[in-house]
Chain A
Amino acid sequence: MRSMDTQKMVRLSLLISLATVLSILENQLPIPRPLWLRLGLANVITLVALMMYGTRAAVTVACMRALLAGIFGTLPMLAFSFPAALASSTAMGVLHRVSGQRLSIIGLSISGAVVHNLTQLLVAYFLLSLNRSSILALAPLLVLAAVGAGFVTGLIARYLVRHLFSSFEE
């Protein structure tokens, strides 16, 4: 990564630690929810990083968050979370660049969530040797869940970004 100014570095570090905490909290809180599904609150922070500093920052925040939160989990959990974080943040960055303003932060969030879930399904395919029909049976459910979760995190990110940006206009 090119040299960056101190303010950017500090802000990115803050975002990474925020995302890590959110990720760990979300894993451990006994919130009633369907078993496999999570809202993916850390994605809010990835979106904020994307809006503030672009694709590279978003990918950095997502990957560092996955690695740091992975310390508090198990290795198989990391095998699921890291590739998904990498793929979804990259996808959101690319879509953000390609679509210009046509996709809002909510559209980006949903795309990211879908890529995230499908990446995890792909990992499961290889890691757990699921067969093709199981994958085909699971994929639509995961896409549906991702649309819902992506919408909610996108909405949160939208408000967060708006308030952050207005507070940054020193």
Chain B
Amino acid sequence: MLTRYDRFLIIGLLALALLCLGIVRYRAGRTDTVLVQVDGEEVIRASLAADRRFWVDGPLGRTEIEIRDERVRVVDSPCERKICVRTGWIGKPYQMVICVPNRVVIRLLGSDDDDGLDAITE
């Protein structure tokens, strides 16, 4: 059913993906900072250590975000399909909650994150 080249392709892609995944996991380390962007602009940078609830305003309206027990989630969003809300809690480096309709991106920074430098210089 599969040709020899199909197998090369599948094995090659899987190997490459798993290798990259391993490297990312290995280098990610721990995270303690959450970054919230609206429309590409950073609006909030918060520590995961302190539990809090806040909101950001996007083109559709207000996205409510909660930090608790070193994790973060979207509590409520004005978007239609609520993918961001259904994503649930995230707590590992490089995990993201993305709300495309409301242009909100919530990212957990990793230790080698290229945004990490800004945190130091700020």
Chain A interface main SS type: helix
**Pairwise interchain contact A104-B6, C-beta atoms closer than 8 A:** yes
**Pairwise interchain contact A104-B21, C-beta atoms closer than 8 A:** no
- Of the residues A35, A111, A129, contact of B37 by C-beta under 8 Å: A129
Interface stretch of the complex, out of A4-12, A57-65, A136-144: A136-144
**Pairwise interchain contact A104-B2, C-beta atoms closer than 8 A:** yes
**Pairwise interchain contact B3-A103, C-beta atoms closer than 8 A:** yes
Interface stretch of the complex, out of A13-21, A48-56, A72-80: A72-80
Q: What is B's interface to A at a CB cutoff of 8 Å?
A: 1-6, 9-10, 13-14, 16-21, 24, 28, 37, 40-41, 80, 83, 86-87, 93-94, 96, 98, 100-101, 103, 105, 107, 110, 112-115
User: In whole angstroms, what is the CA distance A169 to B16 when docked?
Assistant: 42
Number of interface residues of A (CB under 8 A): 37
**Pairwise interchain contact A106-B13, C-beta atoms closer than 8 A:** no
**Pairwise interchain contact A147-B100, C-beta atoms closer than 8 A:** no
Q: Judge if A101 is at the interface, Cβ distance under 8 Å.
A: yes
Tell whether A76 pairs with B101 under 8 Å between CB atoms, given A103-B9, A134-B96: yes
Contacts of B24 in A (CB 8 A): 136-137, 140
Q: Judge if A102 is at the interface, Cβ distance under 8 Å.
A: yes
**Pairwise interchain contact A132-B6, C-beta atoms closer than 8 A:** no
